[in-house]
Structure 1
């Protein structure tokens, strides 16, 4: 456990927002998390728990103020290993501090498919269950086995399976607080230390998304292997999403909204070209990027916050390192976009990043 005071967070959030942390604690093992939970750092002189902010890759985060007064927990737990097998699955474990894309690449290097559709998603392994990350027809919950975490209130380590994580669309138990006794909300309380994924031995490609179908048709290869899908996904993402090292951003800024079939038919009657995807539960998912583009926001800016020219779903930092975008500018732009989409389509867009 390494404690730092008055530490800049500009290089620790992919938006590049210039903010600092009163206290930042680097955690490099599960035991270090338990030690932190038992330390005086976590408690005020009156014994109350101080607020914490768990920071992985900083890729799903908007820092709205100049200073973060919560204790920032920088997760740096390393390690990837095969920890078990069943007749149908391989169980792979990774530390919370491992870069997600590094894990995907490692599994493919072993010859194991299953995570290729999730290539190049920014962030760390520990953050993946919180957001239930997903892309190109696959979500984390589809490959999830279990995770280990530490309860900051008690210092005890515990394990959760998929059902206990209560996964939803970009959602999990880690994004909700316990409103009353008996509720199982873990936001601000649990810190994920290890994640285990179940990779299918009987692998099959997931090619349902339009961009992947187009790659299949263009390649003339109707049966791509996992490595080929990985390369296609990387190429697609690089073509439409900016590299945070070059242009600060937090990836997709808004969730794709879901509507009923009747609502979708009504919108299609007015907007025949709207991009939409029928879902197994009977709802229809609309492409938030298309909605934003239709409102004329692509390439526009408010102050130093802008909408990426190649993908309207991504908000970017148009400032410089010495004059960076502020969290306030980002949220002002986001609110303006939400208003435009609601006024035209009657749909409320919900941001994906955590706003602190």
Structure 2
């Protein structure tokens, strides 16, 4: 059955912020061939295109006067890796990311357990090189397959070709809006390589009564516990998770910051220091802030990095709040915050 092109579709249920924007055109595809069929339609060729997976990293500030293509390609399978301790896990781009983490654990594979409970789909994961608790997607990435929008050709991209950076890839830069990811292959470990060095993982494991070397499943459980304690469930409060990237500053800038704010946290990264955006925002007094006449949007009470829609907010209101936060952090600390969320 060919994919169907729909007109004037509400996107409220397709974005975790719960913003009620409309797409002029909308279609879902469940295979690379269905995607090619859609891309051959004159209406689609001429329109601005937006690919949606879980809609967990977008903020709509207006109706979308183009075509929204929803990626629903499924499929999970494990194949032999280059050596006996490595396995290749292939996932369709429309699979839920957390579902892939659970599947990997069920197969006795480790490498992505620190990325548990990150919302969204597999196809979006390499585009912004998702990361959490000391691990990034690029650490487990082997290659991906994507359809070129202009030709419909399927192409494979290696780790190097993806140009991964902090919440960045070549698909957010030189190749932006040129390819649609159909599948991702991860390189995972049969012999466990546990990473508990970041954040509160070790403390949480101890609170769970785990004092010996934890299993990947236990690390996953700890990460899930931490995330649930800090981050609101989009099914209950509209949000897109971390709204801002953690800024990276030079060592000199960080030393200057520490002189003025001795308690300022920072994590060494190549070329400088990463400063938690949530801490910067909280120091500016935004944590728990509610805006609007009825307080219908604002900053989450447990995590200043998360902007929330308590109900009825517009994307323009949330964007204005983000701009106010950016300006206040710039004024107080001389550090520029950048959204992690894609704003339309």
Decide: shared fold, TM above 0.5. Answer: yes
Partner of 1:244: 234
Partner of 1:36: 38
Matches within 5 A, 1:183-202: 185-202=174-191
Task: Report deviation, 1:43.
Answer: 2.7
Do the aligned residues in 1 keep the contact of 2:146 with 2:183 (CA within 8 Å)?
yes
Task: Name structure 2 gaps, 5 residues minimum.
Answer: none
Partner of 2:170: 173
Provide the aligned length of Structure 1 versus Structure 2.
337
TM-score (normalised: structure 1): 0.92
Do the aligned residues in 1 keep the contact of 2:126 with 2:169 (CA within 8 Å)?
yes
Task: Report deviation, 1:26.
Answer: 0.5
Q: 1:209 aligns with which of 198, 201, 220?
A: 198
Partner of 1:24: 26
Do the aligned residues in 1 keep the contact of 2:12 with 2:20 (CA within 8 Å)?
yes
Matches within 5 A, 1:292-311: 292-303=281-292, 304-311=296-303
Helix, strand or coil for the counterpart of 1:14?
coil
Distance between the aligned counterparts of 1:196 and 1:243, measured in 2? 28
Task: Report deviation, 1:313.
Answer: 0.3
Task: Report deviation, 1:220.
Answer: 5.1
Task: Report deviation, 1:187.
Answer: 1.2
The worse-fitting range, judged by mean Cα deviation, of 146-155 and 214-223 is: 214-223
- State whether structure 2 residue 101 is matched by structure 1 residue 113: no
Q: 1:6 aligns with which of 5, 8, 13?
A: 8
- State whether structure 2 residue 160 is matched by structure 1 residue 160: no
The worse-fitting range, judged by mean Cα deviation, of 296-305 and 249-258 is: 296-305
Once superposed, which parts of structure 1, at least 4 consecutive aligned residues long, lie more than 3 Å away?
Answer: 216-220
The worse-fitting range, judged by mean Cα deviation, of 336-345 and 270-279 is: 270-279
Distance between the aligned counterparts of 1:37 and 1:84, measured in 2? 34
Matches within 5 A, 1:36-75: 36-44=38-46, 50-65=47-62, 67-75=63-71
Task: Name structure 1 gaps, 5 residues minimum.
Answer: 45-49, 177-184
Helix, strand or coil for the counterpart of 1:5?
strand
RMSD value, Cα: 1.2
The worse-fitting range, judged by mean Cα deviation, of 208-217 and 246-255 is: 208-217
Distance between the aligned counterparts of 1:214 and 1:276, measured in 2? 19
Do the aligned residues in 2 keep the contact of 1:14 with 1:59 (CA within 8 Å)?
yes
Helix, strand or coil for the counterpart of 2:123?
helix
Distance between the aligned counterparts of 1:162 and 1:26, measured in 2? 28
TM-score (normalised: structure 2): 0.95
Distance between the aligned counterparts of 1:217 and 1:55, measured in 2? 39
Helix, strand or coil for the counterpart of 2:200?
helix
Q: 1:331 aligns with which of 311, 316, 319?
A: 319
Matches within 5 A, 1:245-264: 245-264=235-254
